[in-house]
Structure 1
């Protein structure tokens, strides 16, 4: 969910009901940190819990790294929400509270959620934070319905988010294998003389504009369309051209998700980066992370993927980058 999505959140239960839509999925065994500016939810970050049995020093060091990342976003305050049993959530949450205090980030509240109830670590007022826990809102709450109506999605888990960008299989994959062979033959036809570079650049720009035009109009891409743009995006100039055109539009996220899922493995990095960059600009950090991870898995040394990975690791806000200009 983007930070500009307007939902009335008057209670902790309503806040918790909206949180999965900010993150894009329902967290499990994780700790989420929500940045606040005034009464607005400005950003959300979610981290898997470390393995059980780690010592306090390891947890403290991990919390310190997270706190530095959060501080770079310059929130006015942060709410910590841990999802899981107290024996795992409490130590990490308390280390995060202390680490955020060290970097001068105010913690508005720290909450644990488990089995349909929530507990506050920082508020002991029974009227708002009962000691036996407050009830979470049901999945079909007004908040959930409102978020869904506004076009936002909360997948069941992070694994489902990963599946959302996974490669197609079966007959769809077989069709893409054939289409990619045709695209490679078409690309070879551009390499006939010293003007090949210019032809590739022209073909790449034309293909980027064409797939954008189709998706903006709500039309589907054929296998040949996907294979052709996938092959052309290997050219750095074409990748840069597509990147420079990336906005935070929903249709762009759908476009690059579709291309990423359908291209052959060797062509994954570029569309994965384009999806990651578009999702980041749209405030969809979790989607950006899984897309960039796919790029790095396919090609660990891919320059743009490594730059985006560093950007996400450092918690850089889209608002701080006015124009992307990779070297």
Structure 2
């Protein structure tokens, strides 16, 4: 499931809402169920999940309803994308779960092949049994969303492609050179520097500052610069320094996306988690989700990725960390450590 802090979009009809959903999520959903929650007349939250398989649809329905109820919403609309055989059980389960959670279900829709059907309206003059055709381009919503800086990619695969590996043999060679450089750094550290901790942090802070500066100037990092930064980020004080200096700015998201794409698989845990954090803070929950999927596939026990995955799963709004890092890092560190201890038992 993914969620996001949302732009202000004016929605006056089911067709407008259907046109808005790809911009609320960041991509056009397929084989999905989406809940759009409102507080009064304002959309406050959107969440998407895959349509359930052959199992019980009530378990994911209960989770998505509980998360939606935590957003301060008082009503919601459910939209299923796919065939009636798959969509109807999922939508019915979520409608019941939302009602049980105290939310008013304004409408429940199914969208397939350029038509929508309502599970709530039974009036053939406005909701014909053959479905209502809609044209997203006829709605003012996409233009307003684009003006607000929102993007709707063709599908979730296109989103995942933004974090797909793009390293290659030259990055592998750069990672090997970084290993040798690290060995030399630790060998040169004074005996008073326990395990070379100060040398590592000093080098990490310098590498991050230089890399961020070059990226802001529009310069592409060399393979050696990127490999060295990624290796130093495996040292937690360096990772936490980078975390403290990462927020939801466009430059943060672009920087960590480049580092994640080019990094060697064994070094993606920190940059991928930092990209997920930047994307979540920017309201790009879907991008955060695909970044975390990539990290946790390679590093299933990485505590920061698990912490961020939990934030997304519970639908915690990015506004909860307004004032970052002063308001969030100590508590986040404690939560990450507790989760790591639980998984090690």
Partner of 1:61: 59
TM-aligned CA distance change 1:41 to 1:206, over 3 Å:
farther
For 1:130 and 1:324, locate their aligned partners in 2 and report how far apart those are by CA, in whole Å. 53
For 1:308 and 1:125, locate their aligned partners in 2 and report how far apart those are by CA, in whole Å. 44
2:29 equivalent among 27, 30, 35? 27
Q: CA deviation at 1:35?
A: 2.1
Per-residue CA shift, 1:109-167, capped at 9, x if unaligned?
Answer: 21110110112222345565444322222458643344334432212211222222110
For 2:74 and 2:215, locate their aligned partners in 1 and report how far apart those are by CA, in whole Å. 38
Q: How many residues are paired up? A: 320
Q: CA deviation at 1:261?
A: 0.7
The alignment's C-alpha RMSD in Å is 2.1
Partner of 2:266: 266
Q: CA deviation at 1:199?
A: 1.2
1:88 equivalent among 79, 86, 89? 86
TM-aligned CA distance change 1:324 to 1:106, over 3 Å:
farther
**Equivalent residues of 1:14, 1:137 under 8 A apart:** no
For 2:106 and 2:209, locate their aligned partners in 1 and report how far apart those are by CA, in whole Å. 46
Runs of 4+ deviating beyond 6 Å: none
Q: CA deviation at 1:257?
A: 0.8
For 1:151 and 1:225, locate their aligned partners in 2 and report how far apart those are by CA, in whole Å. 31
Report SS of the residue matched to 1:5.
coil
Partner of 2:329: 324
Per-residue CA shift, 1:277-299, capped at 9, x if unaligned?
Answer: 11111111111111111111111
Per-residue CA shift, 1:82-118, capped at 9, x if unaligned?
Answer: 0011111111111101111111122222111011011
Partner of 1:43: 45
For 1:126 and 1:216, locate their aligned partners in 2 and report how far apart those are by CA, in whole Å. 57
Mapping 1:70-89, distance limit 5 Å: 70-89=68-87
TM-aligned CA distance change 1:125 to 1:299, over 3 Å:
same
1:159 equivalent among 140, 148, 157? 157
Stretches of structure 1 that go unaligned for 5 or more consecutive residues are none
- Is 1:300 the counterpart of 2:305? The answer is no
Partner of 2:211: 211
TM-aligned CA distance change 1:139 to 1:234, over 3 Å:
farther
TM-score by length of 2: 0.86
Report SS of the residue matched to 2:329.
coil
Partner of 1:10: 12
